[in-house]
Amino acid sequence: MSETTNPLVTIAVPTFRRPDYLRLTLECCVTQSYPNIEVIVSDDQSGDSTPEVVASFQDSRIKYFVNAQKMDLAQHFNLCLSRARGKYLVLLCDDDLITPEYIGSLVRRFEARESATVGIGRCEIIDKTGAVTRRFPLLEQDYYPGPEFLIHWLWGKLPDPRPAWISMFMRTELARAAGGFPQTPVAAHADNALFIALALQGDVVFAKEGCFQYRVYMESYGLSVSYQVLAKASEMLVDYMKTNPVVAQQMAGLSERQRQLLCQGVARIAARTYLYRLSAIYFPALKMRDFLIAVFSTYRFDSQYLRAFPRFILAFIKHRTEQLLKRGRR
């Protein structure tokens, strides 16, 4: 197989104590229609049947590593990045899935366009049983200029397929040069940040043939984060626009208007994400005093946080009404 026409793609699978889901994830890796892949399974000291699950595949493309010590999630992601040998990289968490055409459809588009820096496929949300609970709208184009894509996404002029960022298709060396995944608490918003850094350097690719299935359930990393941690990570995402040297360099080449839209747009997304989760996830689990602290004194107040408040109030009323209706049916 020619490395020129069929470049190596690394699928990195960080895992921790999810052997049953890991089996499904590895099955979707080894059944990709694109053959020239390596699958890096990085075990964060699970201490369970994970080695047996990996060994059961008997596939030479799978390489298994056990971390010398347990590490933060962003650290773990970056360790996977450092081990990747492929020209391209996909990070696939141990409970998520990709369809057989995912890798091949993105390789074809990247190889056809040197300016492509980061890509995604279709996105679906699945529950713990694998049932599809939500399908995100398709994007209309195969390629988008990165800064234009970011501005349209951040300001709601494009569908918001953010769950797909975690398994974005990226040029490995560009991801390393950008510093990899920033060290945010439990890697919250780390994928958003790296996606932004990559998109600013070229074109964003969309390949509708392949689908990423993001598994959402209360035990998953994304929903087990405290509101304090999410607030800190959200603020770090806003600061990333100025502190990451690659982002700062790319932003310097844009117009003042574009820079303003990008910085304010990131602040807008960060604030809305925090407030949405407060109303939808944290409110049922918090005492009223803690909830008020979370709303009024935990997150750094800025103009975008204040502008997000009307939407937050409506979401809060909606979720509170749903709670009361459920109680009334019991």
pLDDT tens, residue by residue, 271-293: 998 998 888 778 777 888 998 89
Answer yes or no: are the C-beta atoms of 174 and 234 closer than 8 Å: no
Task: Answer whether residue 47 is part of any domain.
Answer: yes
Among 222, 248, 279, give the residue marking a domain's end: 222
| pLDDT computed for residue 284 by the predictor | 75
The string of pLDDT tens digits covering residues 58-93 is 999 999 999 999 999 999 999 999 999 999 999 999
Q: Is residue 1 part of a domain?
A: no
- At residue 329 the predicted structure's pLDDT band, cuts being 50, 70 and 90, is low
292 or 255, which is more confident?
255
Q: Write out the H or E segment, with its range, that includes residue 84.
A: none
Tell me, yes or no, whether 247 and 179 share the same domain.
no
Q: Is residue 59 included in any domain, yes or no?
A: yes
Residues 120 and 259 grouped into a single domain: no
Question: Would you say residue 3 lies in a domain?
Answer: no
- This prediction's pTM: 0.91
Check residue 218 and give its pLDDT: 64
The reply to whether 194 and 230 lie within a common domain is no
Tens of pLDDT along 134-153?
999 999 999 999 999 999 99
Domain that holds residue 265: 226-329
In a domain, 26, yes or no: yes
What is the domain count for the chain?
Answer: 2
Same domain for 232 and 207: no
Residue 4 lies in a domain: no
**Residue 94 belongs to a domain with what CATH number?**
3.90.550.10
Of 222, 241, 258, the residue that ends a domain is 222
Residue 192 lies in a domain: yes
- Please identify, among 161, 196, 222, the residue that sits at the C-terminal boundary of a domain: 222
Mean pLDDT across the stretch 206-232?
82
Same domain as 272, residue 199: no
Predicted pLDDT at 223: 52
Domain match, 146 and 295 both? no
Same domain, residue pair 259 and 273: yes
Residues 170 and 268 in one domain: no
Q: Which helix (H) or strand (E) holds 57?
A: none
59 lies in the same domain as 140? yes
Clarify whether residues 80 and 140 are in a common domain.
yes
In a domain, 198, yes or no: yes
Contacts of 320 (CB under 8 A, 6+ apart): 283
Are 60 and 172 part of one and the same domain?
Answer: yes
150 and 266 share one domain: no
The reported pLDDT for the residue numbered 221 is: 45
Is 199 buried (19+), middle (13-18) or exposed (0-12) by CB count in 10 A? buried
Which residue carries 């496929």 as its tokens? 121
Give all strands (DSSP E) within the chain, no chain letters: 9-15, 37-43, 62-66, 88-91, 97-98, 116-126, 132-135, 143-145, 169-171, 203-215
Q: What percent of the chain has pLDDT over 70?
A: 95
